[in-house]
């Protein structure tokens, strides 16, 4: 089913069809441009019409995203995009709802709505642009900024321990978590495609460069000289291998990850095999960013995925059961229930 037709024949949508006529107003070099491009590239493959999509955002640089999509969209309240998007999905389950937010929007003022959305598991795609800074308000530290970060709001260095979005998401019972990078468009497309195909809340953390207030925060994972040594790209059913010559692997010593030299005769069969359904190991992968006993590569790809009911489906089921059980009782009777009495 396509939106565009030519002489009554369907025409497959392209990335250009998803781009609006609005001037894009992000700083030169901002990672948001890349993310916008990859989303617009992926969505035509859904074969859904433009009017089936809704992009919902809160407040922040990333939250301009809905203006640049030729779909329905809502630029909502700071931190409340996830709550509004959940309501949209429950009210109209046929909509393809996407939430766009930054690390400040989702992890700080929106943190409460964020964790509850994950546990409720509406069939929504949630993209978090993580640049470890407040960009729109000109460079204050954010909930994902590293401890000791010197910014306008922390001139002596931040004292806060940063949130680990992967660990937080898994702890909040996310049914899908993945991580990708703004400067790796091919990997982005793969991850966004996987998120789009997931039935449930698909949370994707995207490392996104802010060239003005936090330039180069993630360059170690994107630059040619360091990328292969610092990145671990996850593939379901395949061993954890990395390094410039793919000469390093990760195996488990009990429940402790250990880096091994593959040139030393270690077999691939001895390595940790990635399993997207293993939540315990997904938590271990999430902790790679915080390990102090050894320097671990940063994982990218799908950490965890599980199939479980979405809240809008449970709502529909509950409503159907209520209609059968309660029939056509007056609203006052339903609200008062059986545990009330009248005083004469």
Query: Does residue 117 surpass a pLDDT of 80?
Result: yes
Domain tally for the chain?
1
* 143 is a domain residue: yes
CATH code of the domain in which 160 resides: 3.40.50.970
DSSP E strands in the chain: the ranges are 5-6, 9-10, 53-57, 72-75, 96-102, 124-130, 176-181, 202-207, 231-233, 241-242, 248-253, 256-261, 298-305
* 238 is a domain residue: no
Query: Does residue 194 surpass a pLDDT of 60?
Result: yes
* 321 is a domain residue: no
C-beta separation of 94 from 53 below 8 A: no
Residue with tokens 């060239």: 211
Q: What is the pLDDT of residue 266?
A: 86
Task: Work out the end-to-end distance of the chain between its first and last CA atoms, rounded to an integer number of angstroms.
Answer: 62
Query: Does residue 2 surpass a pLDDT of 70?
Result: no
Residue with tokens 């003022």: 109
* 45 is a domain residue: yes
Query: Does residue 205 surpass a pLDDT of 60?
Result: yes
Element (H, E) at 85: helix 81-91
* 242 is a domain residue: no
| CA dist., res. 193 & res. 196, Å (int) | 5
* 177 is a domain residue: yes
* 34 is a domain residue: yes
Query: Long-range CB contacts (< 8 A, 24+ apart) of 16-22?
Result: 16/40, 17/44, 17/50, 17/70, 18/43, 18/44, 18/50, 18/69, 18/70, 18/71, 19/68, 19/69, 19/70, 20/67, 20/68, 20/69, 20/70, 21/70, 22/67, 22/68
| CA dist., res. 318 & res. 298, Å (int) | 42
Q: What is the pLDDT of residue 233?
A: 98
C-beta separation of 40 from 18 below 8 A: yes
> What range defines the domain where residue 37 resides?
5-222
| CA dist., res. 256 & res. 251, Å (int) | 8
* 343 is a domain residue: no
Write out pLDDT tens, residues 295-344.
999 999 999 999 999 999 999 998 888 777 766 677 777 777 777 777 87
Query: Does residue 216 surpass a pLDDT of 50?
Result: yes
Residue percentage of the chain with pLDDT more than 70: 96
Query: What helix, strand, coil percent values describe the chain, rounded to 5?
Result: 35, 20, 45
Please list, in sequence order, all residues whose beta carbon lies within 8 angstroms of the beta carbon of residue 316, skipping any fewer than 6 positions away. Answer: 93
Write out pLDDT tens, residues 11-45.
789 999 999 999 999 999 999 999 999 999 999 99
250: β partners: 259
């Amino acid at each position: 089913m396509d939106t565009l037709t030519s002489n009554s024949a369907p025409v497959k949508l392209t990335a250009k069809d998803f781009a609006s006529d609005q001037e894009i107003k992000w700083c030169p070099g901002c990672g948001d441009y890349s993310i916008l491009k990859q989303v617009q590239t992926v969505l035509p493959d859904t074969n859904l019409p433009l009017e089936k999509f809704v992009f919902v955002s809160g407040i922040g640089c990333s939250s301009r995203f809905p203006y640049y999509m030729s779909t329905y969209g809502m630029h909502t309240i700071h931190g409340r995009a996830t709550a509004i998007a959940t309501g949209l999905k429950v009210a109209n389950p046929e909509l393809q709802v996407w939430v766009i937010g930054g690390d400040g929007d989702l992890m700080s003022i929106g943190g409460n709505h964020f964790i509850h959305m994950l546990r409720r598991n509406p069939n929504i795609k949630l993209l978090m642009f993580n640049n470890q800074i407040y960009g729109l308000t000109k460079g204050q530290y954010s909930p994902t900024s590293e401890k000791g970060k010197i910014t306008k709001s922390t001139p002596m260095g931040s004292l806060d321990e940063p949130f680990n979005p992967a660990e937080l998401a898994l702890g909040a019972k996310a049914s899908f978590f993945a991580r990708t990078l703004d400067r790796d468009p091919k990997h982005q497309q793969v991850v966004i495609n996987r998120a789009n195909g997931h039935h449930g809340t698909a949370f994707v953390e995207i490392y996104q460069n802010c060239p003005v207030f936090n330039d180069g925060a993630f360059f170690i994972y994107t630059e040619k000289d360091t990328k292969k040594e610092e990145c671990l790209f996850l593939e379901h059913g395949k061993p954890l291998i990395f390094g410039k010559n793919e000469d390093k692997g990760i195996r488990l010593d009990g429940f402790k990850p250990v880096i091994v030299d593959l040139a030393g005769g270690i077999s691939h069969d001895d390595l940790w095999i990635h399993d997207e359904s293993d939540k315990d190991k997904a938590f271990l992968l999430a902790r790679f960013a915080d390990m102090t006993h050894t320097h671990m590569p940063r994982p990218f790809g799908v950490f965890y995925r599980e199939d479980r009911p979405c809240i809008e489906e449970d709502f529909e089921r509950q409503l159907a059961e209520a209609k059968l059980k309660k029939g056509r009782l007056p609203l006052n009777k339903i609200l008062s229930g059986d545990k009330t009495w009248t005083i004469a």
